[in-house]
Chain A
Amino acid sequence: MRDQIASEFRKLTTTRSVYAMLGGLVAVVAIGVVAIVTGGGSTDLQAPLEQQAFLHASLTIAPLFGLLLGLRSFTDEFRFGSIVPTLLASPVRSRVLGAKLVATTGGGVVLSLAAMAITIAVGVPLLLAKGVEVTLSTGALGVVVGRLVAATVLWTAIGVGLGLAVRHQVAAIAGTLVWILAAEGLLSGLVPDVAKFFPGAAGFAVVGVNPADLLTPGLGALLLGGYALVAVATGAILMQRRDIA
């Protein structure tokens, strides 16, 4: 499986659109940070760094990009037909799935770290420019970064599984975004008691955004991991049987 993983990493690093995604993520997060810090409002600029509201820019956006990266992992191959040479080189399909999970979640780690780096690189100078004395606890900041990485990795895995199950790129991406950005919110209004168990809510629980109505980060991670497991298992089972025509 080492060869397959090397091949999947090579795919990631030789696709220009992956770099475009990384660039897009950095740009969106940077704009978000500027908006939050300069927007003033109720944000407490005196808070220690790890509690600054502008961190939410990466905490909410990076997992979404991880999800997109995951969704593209298989749907790109089905869209371009490259699934055929991929499976000819590695006919044991579970190995291809395993290698894609390793490489793509690796990509998710890179995305989340890049997002956090740009958040701090933009946010801290802005605070200093406003004359705020920046304080931080390295340990607490480490926990925030760890949660972001965990959430992004799990969302990436969910994307890989869903993409494999659905195969059609537009359907997979549109369906997932509709669920996360609209359907989950609407359903939460109808059944508020179970809303915190939805995947989006579990994701927010992991990164600790809007914690009041959510599970604890640990439970959120367990639940999100459960969703990832279901998505990947569904994809794996469907892939075992499917004809590649």
Chain B
Amino acid sequence: MEASSTMDWPSAYRAPLGLPAISVRGVTKRFGRVTAVRDLSLEVHPGVVTGFLGPNGAGKSTTLRIVLGLVSPTEGSATVLGMPYASLRTPARTVGAVLETQSFNPLRSGRNHLRVLASASGIDQRRVDEVLEMVGLAAAARRNAGTYSLGMRQRLSLGAALLGDPRILILDEPANGLDPQGIRWLRDLLRNFAAEGKAVLVSSHVLTEMAQLADEAIVINRGRLVRQAPIAELTSGSRRLRVVTSEVARLESALRERGLGVVRTGDGELQVSGVDAVRVGTIAFETGVPVFGLAEHETSLEDAFLELTEEEGR
């Protein structure tokens, strides 16, 4: 594999050797007649942020709950660091998970909610105030959690997940209710987390936000795995280049001569596919054609995702 031709991914991504942080093997889950997950296998490795993508109802939440031992699979098994979740000796120090926004007694303060959870995991109560500070809830810590806004609830849930300083983070739709600032904050948090060699699995059905958060993507639809690949690979398959020039005809024929796909998209504008800006710029220079604009137009994750899940649906 040509290292130089790939994009600049963290090197840790290329080293998924050793024990996967999360491993799902041949999991099927039926609720009565409904099959939520079908023969699903996937692995999540430390050092990267893995996005778990799929439309609503694709089976993401069910899969995460199976990993966390809340739901038992009809077939197959899921392990965390090689062990079923329920067998982990210190679950809170191993995995931190956020599954939904409302998971606390609204008449208990945010701080007491975390204190209750810290007790259950044998975590020092001083850690509670540290975490409240970390998620930006220190000022509201003594208010009843029922009075919190959606974003604050999300931060409280995240605080609960971070209590044990875990090695793996599992977040189900964490960006719901966060404002753009909150999303940026979440992205930095997840990046730092992964950079420390820890594993992050974050689910979403909003793909634009996933492009900002994740390095690798696992796409599922109707309970089946559709694709597991770096986010860049999902989008780079159909990379297009927009070229603005005063001599459309000459540049078009020059590009055609070199076997490139060219389309006139407007007055003085061409679209070239399957090639990068360096190549097109060089060809224009050799042909002596002035170029006023050269922009890469990547397929959005949204488009790539739609393509993937539609293929699956057919």
Contact = CB atoms under 8 A, between A and B. Distances in A.
Interface of A: 3-4, 6-7, 10-11, 14-17, 76, 80-82, 84-92, 241, 243-245
Given A81-B102, A91-B85, A244-B65, 19 more contacts: A7-B116, A7-B117, A10-B112, A11-B108, A14-B115, A15-B108, A16-B107, A16-B108, A76-B105, A80-B104, A80-B106, A81-B100, A82-B105, A84-B103, A86-B120, A88-B91, A91-B69, A91-B88, A244-B70
B150 interface: no
A91 B120 CA distance: 11
B160 interface: yes
Contact of A15 (B31, B65, B99, B105): B105
A85 B104 contact: yes
Contacts, number: 90
Contacts of B246: none
Contacts of B72: 241, 243
Contact of A89 (B91, B99, B106, B107): B91
Given A85-B103, A89-B92, A243-B71, A14 B109 contact: yes
B68 interface: yes
Nearest to B106: A80
A84 B105 contact: no
A147 B117 CA distance: 35
A85 B170 CA distance: 13
Nearest to A76: B105
A90 B69 contact: no
A3 B103 CA distance: 20
A6 B116 CA distance: 8
15 contacts: A16-B107, A17-B107, A80-B102, A82-B104, A82-B105, A84-B99, A85-B104, A85-B160, A89-B91, A89-B121, A90-B120, A91-B86, A244-B70, A244-B71, A245-B70
Contact of B120 (A3, A76, A80): A3
A8 B104 CA distance: 14
B97 interface: yes
Given A89-B91, A91-B69, A243-B65, A6 B119 contact: yes
B103 A14 contact: no
A87 B85 CA distance: 11
The residue among B102, B103, B160 with the most chain A CB atoms within 10 A of its own CB is B103
Interface residue range, chain B:
35 or more
- Residue from B70, B95, B97 with most neighbouring chain A CB atoms (10 Å): B70
B10 interface: no
Contacts of B71: 243-245
A217 B159 CA distance: 50
A137 B85 CA distance: 56
Contact of B116 (A11, A80, A87, A91): A11
Contacts of A81: 100, 102-104
Contacts of A7: 116-117, 119-120
Name the residue among A3, A11, A92 with the largest chain B CB count within 10 angstroms.
A11
A241 B108 CA distance: 29
A19 to B, nearest CB: 11
A98 B226 CA distance: 43
A89 B119 CA distance: 9
Top-5 shortest CB links A-B: A7-B120, A7-B119, A89-B120, A14-B112, A91-B86
A10 B115 contact: yes
